[in-house]
Amino acid sequence: MRIDIVSIFPEAFTALDVSVVGRAKERGLADIAVHDLRDYTHDRHRQVDDVPYGGGPGMVMKPEPFFEAVDALTRPGGPAARVLLTSPQGRRFDQPTAERLARAAHLIVLCGRYEGVDERVAIGLGAEEISIGDYILTGGELAAMVIVDATVRLIPGVVGDERSVEAESFTSGLLDYPHYTRPVEYRGLRVPEVLLGGHHEQIRRWRRREQLRRTLARRPDLIVWDALSDEDRAWLREEAPEG
Alpha carbon distance 239, 223 (integer Å): 13
The least CB distance from residue 59 to ligand 9D3, in Å, is 11
C-beta closer to ligand 9D3: residue 108 or 216: 108
223: CB partners within 8 A, 6+ apart: 174, 215, 216, 236
Closer residue to ligand 9D3, CB minimum distance, 138 or 181 = 138
**Does residue number 12 form part of the binding site for ligand 9D3 (CB under 6 A)?**
no
Q: Least CB distance from residue 106 to ligand 9D3, whole Å?
A: 21
Among 12, 137, 165, 228, binds ligand 9D3 (CB under 6 A): 137
Instruction: Please state, in angstroms and as integers, the Cα–Cα distance from residue 46 to each residue in 7, 19, 35, 39, 53, following that order.
Output: 13, 34, 14, 8, 20
Q: Does 112 bind ligand 9D3 (CB under 6 A)?
A: yes
Whichever of 37 and 132 has its CB closer to ligand 9D3, that residue is 132
Going by their DSSP bridges, the two strands 189-190 and 185-186 should be labelled as antiparallel
- Least gap, CB of 126 to ligand 9D3 (angstroms): 18
- Chain centroid to Cα 133, Å, comes to 10
Q: Which is nearer to ligand 9D3, 1 or 60 (CB)?
A: 60
Query: Out of 94, 115, 162, 168, which residue is the one contacting ligand 9D3 (CB under 6 A)?
Result: 115
What is d(CA 155, CA 94) in angstroms, rounded to the nearest whole number?
Answer: 16
140 near ligand 9D3, rule: CB under 6 A: yes
Residue 207 buriedness (CB in 10 A; 0-12 / 13-18 / 19+): middle
Instruction: Report if residue 143 touches ligand 9D3, rule: CB under 6 A.
Output: yes
Site string for ligand 9D3, 77-106 (x = CB under 6 A): ---------xxx------------------
Q: How far apart are CA 84 and CA 88, in angstroms?
A: 13
Q: Does 131 bind ligand 9D3 (CB under 6 A)?
A: yes
3-state secondary structure of 165: helix
Could you say which of 124, 126, 133, 173 contacts ligand 9D3 (CB under 6 A)? 133
Q: How far is the CB of 228 from ligand 9D3 (least distance, A)?
A: 32
Q: Does 63 bind ligand 9D3 (CB under 6 A)?
A: no
Coil, strand or helix: which one is 110? strand
Site membership for ligand 9D3, residue 147 (CB under 6 A): no
User: Which of 74, 56, 44 lies closest to 116, judged by CA?
Assistant: 56
Report CA 174 to chain centroid distance, whole Å: 18
Binding site for ligand 9D3 (CB under 6 A): 86-88, 112, 115-116, 131-133, 135-140, 143
